[in-house]
Amino acid sequence: MKILKYLAFSALVALSLTSCDKTTEGLTDTLYYPVITLEGGDVLLSVGDDYEEPGFSAALGDEDLTSNVEVMNNVDTSAPGFYTVIYSVADKDGNVANETRTVFVNNPGHFDNIYWGECKHKTNAARHYYNSPISIQYLEENQYLISDLLCGYYTYGVYPGYPYDFDAESIIQLNEDNTVELLEEGDFYFYDPEDPEQMYDGVFDPETGIFTYRLNYYIGGGAILTPIDESNFPGGLPIPE
């Protein structure tokens, strides 16, 4: 599954970023550390587009290190998703600088797409979260992989920064009448096979591209997934006052 590719690349990202520790023991003669500057920010593409690097530069004080920058990415514009470009450069003393850029690949008009997710607790109005990045990938025969059935509730809401096993990656099915049902709920930290989350009232609106559903879990109040496009990228959806 493409999510495995994502996890493998995430491990590579983590390994790369650990090399940017600039702390030293004792005294150092270093006056400058390398710095990478990106042109532009995150990038929004559609399935089938070509990714063109917006540009970058690197310097060590007055010394130009741009030609020494290593660039790694897992961008795959054949499928919607969130992809990462890593930029890394080191000076002669082994000091390393890293920067990252996220490439959003959407699929307008399709159920397999990238979304801003909104999730709301069933009874606690204070637990209402917005703009969680959620992806839905096509598998086969109207079956799809949703990156987080809990709509970012734990990963981006109540407990942001928790490990990936808080994402309830699950398999769902889009029916001919545009209703959506849960086929297989993925394992995650609070998963209990004896008491599944029981998604219900799942509906995909092909006119707006919005996917809504409800759960018997903390977010039983509802989940709304709005497709990411030029109108809400990169800032996300406006948050009601």
Domain boundaries, the chain: 2-106, 114-227
In angstroms, the CA 41 to CA 235 distance is 12
In angstroms, the CA 44 to CA 143 distance is 25
Segment 152-173, tens digit of pLDDT: 887 777 777 766 567 788 999 9
213 vs 7, higher pLDDT = 213
Per-residue model confidence (pLDDT) at position 219: 59
What is the DSSP secondary structure assignment for residue 10, as one 8-state letter? H
Rounded to two decimals, what is the model's pTM? 0.83
* E strand or H helix at 102: strand 96-106
pLDDT of 129 over the 90 cut: no
Per-residue model confidence (pLDDT) at position 207: 96
Per-residue model confidence (pLDDT) at position 46: 98
74-80-84 Cα angle (round to 5): 30
| Residue 169 CB neighbours (<10 A) | 21
Residue 233 CB-half CA count within 13 A: 19
Mean pLDDT, residues 194-207: 86
Confidence of residue 211 (pLDDT cuts 50, 70, 90): very high
Cα–Cα distances in angstroms (integers) from residue 124 to residues 63, 185, 224, in the given order: 55, 24, 17
Residue 178 CB-half CA count within 13 A: 12
Segment 14-70, tens digit of pLDDT: 555 544 444 433 334 568 899 999 999 999 999 999 999 999 999 999 999 999 999
Confidence of residue 117 (pLDDT cuts 50, 70, 90): very high
Per-residue model confidence (pLDDT) at position 12: 53
In angstroms, the CA 65 to CA 75 distance is 24
Confidence of residue 127 (pLDDT cuts 50, 70, 90): confident
- 2-106 CATH choice from 2.60.40.10, 3.40.1160.10, 3.60.20.10, 3.20.190.10: 2.60.40.10
